[in-house]
Homo-oligomer: A and B are copies of this chain.
Amino acid sequence: MPLDARTVDQLDEKALLARIFPRLGPDTALLGPGDDAAVIAAPDGRTVISIDTLVEDADFRLLWPCGYRTSGFDVGWKCVAQNVSDIRAMGAVPTSLVVSLTLPGTTEVSWVEDLAEGLAAGIASLAFENCSVVGGDLGRGSQIVVTAAVTGDLQGRRPVLRSGARPGDILAHVGSLGLAAGGLAVLESGLELADPAGAEDVELGSLALAQLRPRPPYAAAGPAAAAAGATAMLDVSDGLVRDAGRIARASGVAIDLDAGYLSSRAEMLAPAAGRLGADPLEWVLGGGEDHGLLATFGPEAILPKGFIRLGEVHGGEGVTFGGEEPPATGWDHFAG
């Protein structure tokens, strides 16, 4: 039987781990995988920690209506992207991941190998050099469930919370807005796009890739915002309006989004949205999973590289769009 066609129920745990570990890249921990637990450095006496999960059929489909089959690489990459974004949003740099894989017995071994390579590639592209997978867990289930906990190092800085925005602050953002939502619409559409990366239709192909392998902004953006005096910050994972609302609520302020600028961002997505019968402003305001960073800065602050002014902080509560009710809200991961 060719190696690639084997499924995970044909290997024991040890044999499967032996397929995974060599693909994870260099181990950067004080004590890496293989014991009951790993040991990582926490140079400033604190560790930032977060956890996030991807579930088959809730967070990705193995086979999309457009014909694309999600690769293990996609899931590994996305797992890293969404996890490290939470660490960056505190102004920290990622230092390690521990990853738990729940797999149906019918999962192909090559798919799992590909997942390990996606984790390694995601870490190499989106984290810093002193980050690696330092441990994990393997088990059986009826669906693929990939959970990672990620740690980070604040490098002596104060963590940037959601609660520090003040009236008069500038709201700024770095990263893409609405691309992952557009990609979801492409993947869920009846349009044939079995190979987004190789598609002649670059417009739709690149949107699909933004959903499958999101590219959060450059790795230093979070720490740079912290160093520039960001008063509040979070990772935009559930949509701009919803996540801006989280800053507003935590800080006890109102946020007004720049309707002119955001409409121009939506305008750039209008051709693709038109082909899918979708509203591009809904992608920009309500779409999650781009994992940009949304932060507030004092009125005198010099915005770090890549950050673009997106609105203003006022006294009051709630989120407005050019002073009006926003035309779209966002994504509730649970209610769906």
Contacts and interface: CB of A to CB of B under 8 A. Distances in A.
A48 B38 CA distance: 6
Interface in A33-57: 34-43, 45-53, 55-57
A194 to B, nearest CB: 26
Given A39-B47, A86-B37, A87-B37, A139 B16 contact: no
A138 interface: yes
A137 interface: yes
B149 A35 contact: no
A300 interface: no
A30 interface: yes
Contact of A36 (B13, B39, B59, B90): B90
Nearest to A30: B46
For this chain, the copies found in one complex come to 2
A332 interface: yes
Contacts of A43: 45
Sort chain A's interface into a size bin: 35 or more
A333 B13 contact: yes
Contacts of A48: 37-39
A331 B45 CA distance: 38
Interface stretch (A96-104, A167-175, A256-264): A96-104
B46 A141 contact: no
A145 interface: yes
A56 B139 CA distance: 11
A145 B137 CA distance: 13
A137 B235 CA distance: 15
A290 to B, nearest CB: 15
A305 interface: no
A132 B108 CA distance: 37
- Closest 5 A-B residue pairs measured CB to CB? A149-B149, A42-B42, A13-B334, A37-B50, A51-B98
